[in-house]
Amino acid sequence: MRIDQELASLMVGKTVIAVDPPCAGEAVAKFTLSDGTSFRLHATELGAWVEKTVASGGLYRSLDFMYRDYGHYTLEEPEVALIDGRLVLEAPDGTQFIGVVDSFPEEDRKVVAHSKGFPLIAFAAQLGPMWRAAFSPKYYPDLCPLELARESGT
């Protein structure tokens, strides 16, 4: 789908309620729409694309979006905590990214519950959109146990 068509499918009939500046990388801005949809618009000399995300202050329903947003925010290691069924990634400046563990896919819940899960989550978050590399026991044998390996990370 062309970028103009993708933007039209996301935005037509809706109101933009927030535009957040980019934190890093090739992102132009993060848009939040009246229906709760949120996405980042990226552009380089090679083209433009859309990356769906969670509205600022929203709750995450997967590690994928948490990792992506954290990596766009900072490349520094987060503090990781589990508080009342919510996974909290806290950046060094205190900004929090909060996920509802019960709503995570089973594969993500296994990572949260594993004894090596928190160090792996902290490392993956720093990688942002490239987080799958952290789930490769081939490259990170001391960090990623075989039972947590992801197909695309092996």
pLDDT digits (tens, 9 = 90+) for 8-40: 988 899 999 888 887 666 778 888 888 888 888
The set of long-range contacts for 94-97, using a CB threshold of 8 Å and a minimum separation of 24, is 97/60, 97/66, 97/69, 97/70, 97/73, 97/125
Domain segments of the chain: what residues?
Answer: 3-53, 63-153
Beta bridge partners, 43, equal 48
As a whole number of angstroms, the distance between CA 44 and CA 41 comes to 11
- Burial class, 49, CB count within 10 angstroms (exposed 0-12 / middle 13-18 / buried 19+): middle
Is residue 3 within 8 Å of residue 51, measured between CB atoms? no
Question: What is the distance, to the nearest Å, from the Cα of residue 62 to the centroid of all Cα atoms in its chain?
Answer: 8
Predicted TM-score of the model (pTM): 0.77
Per residue in 68-111, pLDDT (tens digit) is 889 888 889 999 999 999 999 999 999 999 999 999 999 999 99
Q: Per-residue confidence at 51, pLDDT binned at 50, 70, 90? A: confident
Give the H or E element holding residue 38.
Answer: strand 38-44
CB of 68 closer than 8 Å to CB of 128: yes
Q: What is the DSSP letter of 146?
A: G
What integer pLDDT is reported at residue 24 of this predicted model? 62
Model confidence at 141: pLDDT above 90 = no
Within 13 Å and on the Cβ side, how many CA atoms surround 153?
A: 23
Tell me what pLDDT residue 154 has. Answer: 39
Task: Look at residues 56, 54, 30, 25 and name the one whose alpha carbon lies nearest to residue 41.
Answer: 30
Spatial distance between the Cα atoms of 147 and 128, rounded to a whole number of angstroms? 22
